[in-house]
Structure 1
Amino acid sequence: MPTPDHDDGSQDRAGKYALVERERRFLMAGPPPASSVREVRRITDRYLTGTRLRLRRVDRAAPVRTEFKLTQKVPAARPGPVQGTITNTYLSRAEYDVFATLPALVLTKTRLSVPPLGFDVFDPPLHGLVLAEAEFGTDEETAAFEPPADIVAEVTADPRFTGGRLVRAGRADLVSWLGDYGIDLVPDDGGP
C-alpha cells in the first residue's frame, strides 16, 4: 500500500480492471429450510496479511468441482450498498497453492444458494452467525430490492459484518455484535 512518502502509481490505475461491487447484507435468525436450497458450497477465505487480497477456495458438491480465485477488494469511502470495487483472478490449483503459503487469516463458511440470496452459515468461532446477501448490477436494482420478510436486520452499512472484519472477530465479538440486534448466543457453547 502506498505511503505518503512513496506512491507506487497504483492509485492512478485503481479500478482499471475492477467492477463496482453492489450488495446488500441481512442478518438472519437461522439458515433457510433445506428444501429451498438450490446449491451448497463450502468456502474457505484466506485474507492475506498486510494486503487487500482474499484467496478463496470454493468446493461444490454437485457437480463436484473446486474453484480457486484471488480477489482484490478496494472498499468504498463509506459503508452502504456500493461496497467498493472488486477484481477477480481465477487460478489453477498450483497457483492457489503458491498463494496459500502466504500468511493469512482464515474464515470458513457454507453458502446456501436460495436465489436471489446466498445464505452464509459460518464455522467456529462464528457459529450461530447467518448472513444473507444479494448482489446487484445497478444502483436502481440495489434500491428496488425487497428484503426477505424473515430478516432480523439489514447490516449492509454495518462494517462489522464484512468478511474483512469477521475474519478478525472472536466469539466474544460476535456475541456482542449479535446482541446489538437482539440475538442471544452462548459465549462459548463448545460447538463444532
Structure 2
Amino acid sequence: MTDKAGGIRGESVCPGKYARVERERRFLLAEPPIPSAVTATRTITDRYLVGTRLRLRRADWPDGGCELKLTQKVPVAQPGAVQGLITNTYLSPTEYDLLARLPATLLSKTRFSVPPLGVDVFGGHLQGLVLAEAEFTTDEEAQRFVPPADSVAEVTDDIRFTGGRLVETTRQQLLQWLAEYGLQPAKR
C-alpha cells in the first residue's frame, strides 16, 4: 500500500519481481571534488515526467558514449538510507526520443565519480548546489558508511535535496535552503 505522497507504508521495503530496494545516503558539499580525485565524469539530463513517478535520464560521457533509461522511483515513508523501490529500463535512442516528447520538467547536472561517491554539481538556477551520494546493497553497509570528510551535512532525510523536489525548486528557495546549512554560493 502507498501513502498519499506515493510512499510505501510499513516498516520494511521488499523488492518486487522487477524493482529493487534503493539504499543511498546523500551529503551536501561546499564545493565540487578536486579533479585529481575524479575517476569518471558524465553529464546527466533528467526529465521528470509530469504527473508521474517516472524519470527519463540521458547520461553523456566525454568520449561520446550515452546511456538512456526510464526509471520509476517509489519512495518509502520512513527515514534512513532505504529510499524506496527503484526500477530501471534501458532504452534505445528511438524509445528515448519517443518518451522525451511527453511533458516533463528538466534537471541537469554533471556527475563526478569519486569512489565510493557520485558527486553531482548542478548548473542553471541550482548553481552552487553540490550533492554527494553513496549507494549500498545492505542496510548494514549504509549504517557503517563514514560520511566524506568535506561534507557540510547529511541530507539523506531532507526531501528538499531529492531530484523530484529539486526539479521544482526556485533559485530563491535553493539559496534559503543552503543558507540553513551555512552555505552561500557565489553570485551568478
Residue aligning to 2:27: 26
Alignment of 1:65-144 (within 5 A): 65-144=65-144
Residue aligning to 1:145: 145
Residue aligning to 1:11: none
Gaps of 5+ in 2: 5-14
After TM superposition, the runs of 4+ consecutive aligned structure 1 residues lying more than 6 A away are: none
Q: Structure 2 length normalisation: TM-score?
A: 0.90
Cα displacement string for residues 48-68 of structure 1 (whole angstroms, at most 9, x for unaligned residues): 000000000000114x30010
Alignment of 1:26-65 (within 5 A): 26-62=27-63, 64-65=64-65
- AA of the residue aligned to 1:29: A
Give the whole-Å Cα distance in 2 for the aligned partners of 1:45 and 1:15: 24
Identity %: 64
* Aligned length, in residue pairs: 176
Cα displacement string for residues 58-94 of structure 1 (whole angstroms, at most 9, x for unaligned residues): 00114x3001000000000123210000000000000
Q: CA deviation at 1:162?
A: 0.3
- AA of the residue aligned to 2:36: S
Give the whole-Å Cα distance in 2 for the aligned partners of 1:80 and 1:123: 27
Give the whole-Å Cα distance in 2 for the aligned partners of 1:16 and 1:50: 24
The CA RMSD measured in Å over matched residues stands at 1.5
Cα displacement string for residues 128-183 of structure 1 (whole angstroms, at most 9, x for unaligned residues): 00000000000000000011111100000000000000000010010010011011
Q: Structure 1 length normalisation: TM-score?
A: 0.88
Answer with 1 or 2: which has the greater Rg: 1
Give the secondary-structure state (helix, strand or coil) at the position aligned to 2:176: helix
Give the whole-Å Cα distance in 2 for the aligned partners of 1:163 and 1:145: 22
